[in-house]
Amino acid sequence: MIAPTTEPPAAARRQPGARRRWARLCVAVAVVAAGFGVVLSAEVGGPGTAKTISNFGLCAAALCAAVACLIRAATLRGRMRASWGLVGLGVLSWAGGQACAVRLDLLTGTVPLPSQADIGYLGMVVLASAGLFVFPAAAQTLANRTRSVLDGLMVAVSLMLIAWIFVIHPLLEAGGDSRLALAVSLAYPLGDVVMITIVVYLLALRRREGHTLADLALVGAGIIAFAVSDIEYAYLNIIGAYYPGGVTDIGWFAGFALVLLAAARPVARGRRTAAEPATGRQPLGVLLPYVAVLAALLTSVLWFARSGQTSAYVESTQSAVILLMIGRQLLTLLENRGLTRHLEARVADRTAELYAREQRFHALVQHSSDVVTVVGTDAEVLYQSESVQRVFGYPAEVLTGRRLTSVLDTESATRLAAALRSVSGRPYASTVLELTIRHRDRRLRQAEMTITNLLDDPSVGGLVLNTRDISERKELQEQLVHEAYHDALTQLGNRALFRERVAEALQERPVDGDVTVLFLDLDGFKEVNDSLGHLAGDKLLVQVADRLRESVREGDMVARFGGDEFAVLIGSELGSDDAEGVARRIVDGLHEPFRVDERDLHVRGSVGLAAYSALGDDAAGDSPVEAAEQLMRNADLAMYRAKHTGGSGFASYDPQMLAGLVERLELEADLRLALTRGELTVHYQPTIDMTDSHVAGFEALVRWQHPVRGLISPMAFIPLAETTGLIVPLGRWVLTEACRQAMEWSRQTGRPPVKMAVNVSVRQFDHSDLAAMVREVLTETGMPADRLCLEMTESVLMTDTEENLAQLVRLKALGVTLAIDDFGTGYSSLAYLRRFPVDTLKIDRSFVERLGEQGDDAALAGTIVQLGQSLGMSTVAEGIEEYGQLAALRAMGCTFAQGFYFSRPVPAGEAGRLLLESAAVRPSA
């Protein structure tokens, strides 16, 4: 038989509930079979009732079993489908025979033997045997197939002998109505013998192959139940004692029930395919033929002892069994001889393979980059691989028999002896150490040696040393460490090395000593990079590094952190001015021009100093690493102080620098939360129409009422919002609140919304969605676009000109008014004013406060008013604080005015009252 196509994956992946459903089916079938057996054995309801129940019950049982087998076949493939299909057809044939028998019984009152029903009954024997015969098994060699055939014949002949003694011979002696009736009667037990033989052999074979047995075992049990009933049926028919509804029918019903359960049983998860080899030996398959033969011989001996007679059939059957056993033994002998030759060939192949491995290992050891040495506990060389000459220059025979310590320096020899002692007392222990070994050419080489204790290994009997030359690896490590701690351009130390050196200096600082960190940042270096390129910038940095080396003292460390940032570590006596002297020499040294690519370049430096002694109690309890970080941070702060004071100088760290930085960080953190906490409010300063002095509009100005600091000036937090980017959400909030308030006043007064001016930062222009944001706010609040004025500084006109122009055009398209705030303090030109769609010029307060005095500022204010008039723009004067300023601006023709003379910025409630009273508000003389 060939290897079958196994069950599909879908069948193998059964659901967890399948076993529970099958268990419930088993219980149901067992209950029905038990009830069937009770009715037939006790003849409940009388013989007629038992007969009717038996006839129709057997039909139903056979049909159910046949349907279950056919359904199982439909879910499978290959020979497994054919096997279950043939078994199902055989059971269906039996059901047809039973139906025919019931019809004959109903029509004639009896079922003759033979009859048409026997065709269906015997059809099951043929079809079921065929189905069992094609049941899949693993592919076998010719010898195995021959042995399988011999084993099957031995089992079949043995069972036939047993069947002759217990069944066939008594039937022949009992006689019957006719030869046909006798033949039909004998066909049932003989067919059962064939099926039982196949089932038993398949069970043994599949068990030997490691397969599960449950399905086949249930089918075999069903066939055995059939055989019992068939034998009884055949014998009772011969003697004329069989009647339907008797206990004989219970075996058939039980057989069909078992076949039904076998077909309905769920497929086990992870079932191994038939083509897979067995994982273990199962002796049952080998011993089964001998068990059958032994049972047949014992049966024949007992039969002869009881009857005292023999027969030609028994003798010929015994002879056949003996011949089959001889044939099987001959086959076994031939197989053993073949196996012996195969084992001898495998031993020879294995020996050759081991020899080849030995030669390969020898070649690998001799030509390995590692030097293999076997020494005794006293370091005497017992074996030395030839690779030692290639690695360290010594021939192997020179070292063999010598102490290995003779080629090592004193320190390495001592360390090697200690390592050998440490592992010699621990079998199979190992250790690794690095040694300095002198090459035969007198060069010192770094080596890594792994020592393994194989003293207890009889094939070695020593300490194995695997040694490799790691000199190049060490050099590479040193190179990598140097690159990791040094700047590639200037070869100065980098930030990591500088931090470590500062920590070491602090840790080793004497009581009367001080440690100072100096930070240097070049002024004007960015312009060199941008104008001449990075290559010129790199050349300049190399020259700066050289001058720094010349400016510092011997023992001071110079480092480059990246870009144009340098640092110097200075050690000095406590209270000395050595650090300031170094800083002064550095600043002075940078005054001389640098010659780069035929150009003289001028750069300056801003230097910040931070001394450990200046930390005071702040450094108490800090580790050297923490103190180093603090020193570097303080020097950085001092450097920025020096840069902000004009550059080209130095500044020492002052604790107020850190306090200012901490305060700024705290203020930034509070500002991020101010919007969500509702700490921000909007105050409104009225804009007065110069013609009739009524309130023409308001300027929205944000105020921050801090819960701890109180009211914070916009000059303190607006620049912070600019640098951190918080001005974007802050600006949107102010715009929304101002528009909302304007619409609220409009609802209260019943008049159109007042003109509302809102400042827009240059940082907001960096976002391309500024116009979209304004449109959203106008839509959300319902504010008419022509009642909103967006004020910006002149820097908007001077930076990213084309992009900002596009932004202003988009804003102007919304219908809003655009104004330039603090006009006159920047550098905008008339050309920009004509290009940009600006509606209003706001005169800076610095020009307004000098009005009434003779000077350029007064004349400039008039010029701005005239410029606005010539360009068709309105003008707004800021910072009016006295009547003289107002009168002068009115005389110039200024359109609008703002200032404390009219009102300070006030909360929304007070601004609303000013709006209602604006008709009566008049400036005092």
Q: Find residue 373's DSSP bridge partners.
A: 384, 465
Q: Is the peptide bond before 112 cis (omega within 30 degrees of 0)?
A: no
Distance CA 88, CA 127 (A): 9
Residues 215, 183 contacting (CB under 8 angstroms):
no
Q: Is the pLDDT of residue 469 over 80?
A: yes
DSSP track, 108-122: HS---SS-HHHHHHH
Determine contact, residues 688/894, Cβ cutoff 8 Å: no
Q: Residue 316's pLDDT is what? A: 79
Question: In which element (H, E) is residue 240 found?
Answer: none
Q: What's residue 5's pLDDT?
A: 41
Q: Which two tokens stand for residue 561?
A: 């952190």
- Roughly how many angstroms between the first and final C-alpha of the chain, as a whole number? 126
- Angstrom distance (rounded) from CA 416 to CA 63: 88
682: three-class secondary structure by DSSP: strand
pLDDT at 323 over 50: yes
Among 521, 631, 513, 617, CA closest to 566: 521
- Phi and psi, residue 817, nearest 5°: -95, 140
Instruction: Give DSSP secondary structure letters for 435-447.
Output: EEEE-TTS-EEEE
Residue 12 is predicted with a pLDDT of 43
Q: Is 516 helix (H, G, I), strand (E, B) or coil?
A: strand
Strand order in the sheet with 462-469: 381-384, 371-375, 462-469, 444-454, 430-438
183 residue type, one letter: A
Torsion of CA 270, 274, 279, 284, to 10 degrees: 120
Q: What integer pLDDT is reported at residue 185 of this predicted model? A: 65
Cβ 222 vs Cβ 230: under 8 Å = no
Residue 33 exposure: Cα atoms within 13 Å on the Cβ side = 22
Which pLDDT value is given to residue 545? Answer: 92
Per the model's pLDDT, the better-predicted residue between 215 and 881 turns out to be 881
pLDDT at site 772: 92
| Sheet order of strands, 565-573 included | 557-562, 565-573, 513-523, 604-611, 649-652
What pLDDT score does 756 carry? 94
User: What pLDDT, on the 0 to 100 scale, is given for residue 734?
Assistant: 93
With 50 as the cut, is the pLDDT of residue 617 above it?
yes
For residue 125, pLDDT beyond 60: yes
Res. 566: pLDDT tops 90: yes
User: Would you place residue 856 in the very low, low, confident or very high pLDDT band (cuts 50, 70, 90)?
Assistant: low
Instruction: Check residues 43 and 621 and name the one with the higher pLDDT.
Output: 43
**Type of residue numbered 846:** S
- In this structure, are residues 160 and 317 in contact, taking their beta carbons and an 8 Å threshold? yes
Q: Where are the alpha helices (DSSP H) in 612-757?
A: 624-644, 655-677, 714-724, 727-749
**What whole-number distance in Å separates Cα of residue 253 and Cα of residue 595?**
114
**Averaged pLDDT, 551-559:** 91
Beta-ladder partners of 710: 706
Residue 90's pLDDT band (cuts 50, 70, 90)? confident
Please tell me what DSSP assigns to residue 403.
B
CA distance 288 to 890: 128
Mean pLDDT of the chain: 80
Place of tokens 């360009």: 871
Q: Which residue has the higher pLDDT, 559 or 858?
A: 559
pLDDT tens per residue across span 572-586: 888 888 889 998 999
Kindly tell me if the per-residue pLDDT of 208 is higher than 60: no
Q: What is the DSSP letter of 168?
A: I
Res 560: pLDDT: 93
**What's the pLDDT score for residue 923?**
44
- Amino acid code (one letter) for 93: S
Query: What confidence tens digit (pLDDT) does each residue in 239-294 have?
Result: 667 777 778 888 888 888 888 888 888 875 444 444 344 444 445 556 667 777 78
Q: 793 pLDDT exceeds 50?
A: yes
Listed in order, strand segments (DSSP E) in 273-391 are: 371-375, 381-384
Give the SS3 label for residue 165. Answer: helix
Residue 503 has pLDDT above 70, yes or no: yes
CA count, 13 A, side-chain hemisphere, 896: 23
% residues pLDDT > 70 (the chain): 84
- What residue spans of 209-247 are helical by DSSP H? 214-239
Both tokens of 451, joined, read: 């020592």
Cα 172 to Cα 459: distance, rounded to the nearest angstrom: 78
* C-alpha Rg value of the chain to the nearest Å: 55
- Which pLDDT value is given to residue 273? 41
| Average of per-residue pLDDT across 612-627 | 76
Provide the 8-state DSSP code for 24.
Answer: H
Secondary structure of residue 478 in the 3-state scheme: helix
Average pLDDT, integer, range 543-555 = 91
Per the model's pLDDT, the better-predicted residue between 543 and 212 turns out to be: 543
Is residue 779 over pLDDT 90?
yes
Task: At 364, list the tokens.
Answer: 């690998």
Residue 325: its H or E element: helix 312-367
Which range (300-309, 560-569, 795-804) has the least confidence? 795-804
How many angstroms separate the CA atoms of 45 and 858, rounded? 135
Helical ranges in 371-440 per DSSP H: 387-392, 396-399, 410-424
Q: What is the pLDDT of residue 857?
A: 58
Position 212 confidence tier, pLDDT thresholds 50, 70, 90: low
Predicted local confidence at residue 700, as pLDDT: 93
Q: Are the C-beta atoms of residues 717 and 761 closer than 8 Å to each other?
A: no
Stretch (H or E) spanning 551: helix 534-551
pLDDT at site 205 = 62
* Secondary structure of residue 304 in the 3-state scheme: helix
| Average pLDDT over every residue of 804-819 | 89
Residue 802 has pLDDT above 90, yes or no: no
SS3 452: strand
- 461 near 377, Cβ under 8 Å? no
Q: 743-778 burial, b for 16+ CB within 10 Å, e for fewer? A: bebbeeeeeebbbbbbbbbbbbbbeeebbebbbebb
Predicted confidence (pLDDT) per residue in 27-83, tens digit? 888 888 888 888 887 777 777 788 888 888 888 888 998 888 888 888 888 888 888
Lowest-confidence range among 183-187, 211-215, 693-697, 787-791? Answer: 211-215
Confidence of residue 783 (pLDDT cuts 50, 70, 90): very high
Top mean pLDDT of 274-283, 409-418, 783-792 is at: 783-792
Report residue 14's pLDDT band, with 50, 70 and 90 as the boundaries: very low
Q: Are strands 599-601 and 594-596 parallel, antiparallel or unpaired?
A: antiparallel
Q: How many other CB atoms are found less than 10 A from the CB of residue 646?
A: 10
Torsion of CA 110, 111, 115, 119, to 10 degrees: 150
pLDDT of residue 787: 94
Instruction: Please enumerate in sequence order all residues whose Cβ is within 8 A of that of 57, keeping only pairs 6 or more positions apart, or say none.
Output: 36, 253
pLDDT digits (tens, 9 = 90+) for 643-666: 877 677 888 887 776 666 667 777
Q: What is the spatial distance between Cα 126 and Cα 658, in angstroms, rounded to a whole number?
A: 104
Helix (H/G/I), strand (E/B), else coil: 69: helix
Question: Residue 436 has which token pair?
Answer: 């300095």
